[in-house]
């Protein structure tokens, strides 16, 4: 009889092999690119995924919870505004708490799922930085002259977004 790989018995991993596979899926210094499953946030005003509280709110205005912020040239978080190129490009995040200038703030970084029960998105919608309200997220891109159009993520449910800002932006003419 000829060899048929489809007819061979299934090989199940041993307990040691399972442990090794689990370890391989966990990011570490030797395996930083491991796959990690992220769950959607179960609680309002929270995020799952990359976050940091390593930087302060800058000397401008206070930062409100669930608003977009950008890391300025002094490594401080400031509110975004699509009316100004300098506040809409570079590293942006979503503030997970309200803080005044000079205080450290917890910020969701790109690659996070963020939940805010006040949002009412249509799943699959592409989201952008707003021009009308500082730090706001909108579902329609701006059409004003010299406004920055930069997608920041997608709605995955009515109150959860996948935050993954584009590294590319355009300026509306």
Q: What is the tens place of the pLDDT at every residue in 104-154?
A: 999 999 999 999 999 999 999 999 999 889 999 999 988 888 899 999 999
Residue 150 lies in a domain: yes
Checking if the pLDDT of 10 tops 50, the result is no
In the beta sheet, which residues pair with residue 155?
Answer: 161
**Which string of DSSP letters, residue by residue, matches 47-74?**
EES-EE--SEE-SSS-B-TT-EEEE-TT
Model confidence, pTM: 0.79
Residue range of the domain that includes 86: 46-171
Residue 21 lies in a domain: no
Residue 3 lies in a domain: no
Residue 144 lies in a domain: yes
- pLDDT for res 22: 55
Domains identified in the chain, total number: 1
Residue 149 lies in a domain: yes
In the beta sheet, which residues pair with residue 112?
Answer: 163
Residue 72 lies in a domain: yes
State the Rg of the chain over Cα. 21
- pLDDT for res 38: 78
Residue 16 lies in a domain: no
The residues near 107 (Cβ < 8 Å, ≥ 6 apart) are 51, 52, 53, 55, 69, 77, 93, 94, 95, 96
Checking if the pLDDT of 67 tops 60, the result is yes
Residue 75 lies in a domain: yes
């Amino acid at each position: 009889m000829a060899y048929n790989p489809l007819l061979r018995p299934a090989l199940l991993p041993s307990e040691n092999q399972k442990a090794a596979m689990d370890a391989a899926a966990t990011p570490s210094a030797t395996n930083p690119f491991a796959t990690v499953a992220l769950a959607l946030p179960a609680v309002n005003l929270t995020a799952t995924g990359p976050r940091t509280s390593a930087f302060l709110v800058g000397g401008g205005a206070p930062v409100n919870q669930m608003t977009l912020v950008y890391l300025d040239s002094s490594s401080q978080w400031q509110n975004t505004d699509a009316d100004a190129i300098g506040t809409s490009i570079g590293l942006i995040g979503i503030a997970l708490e309200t803080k005044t200038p000079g205080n450290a703030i917890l910020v969701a970084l790109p690659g996070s799922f963020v939940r805010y029960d006040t949002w009412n998105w249509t799943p699959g919608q592409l989201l952008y930085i707003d021009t009308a309200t500082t730090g706001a997220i909108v579902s329609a891109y701006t059409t004003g002259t010299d406004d920055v159009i930069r997608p920041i993520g997608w709605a995955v449910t009515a109150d959860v977004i996948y935050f993954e800002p584009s590294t590319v932006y355009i300026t509306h003419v």
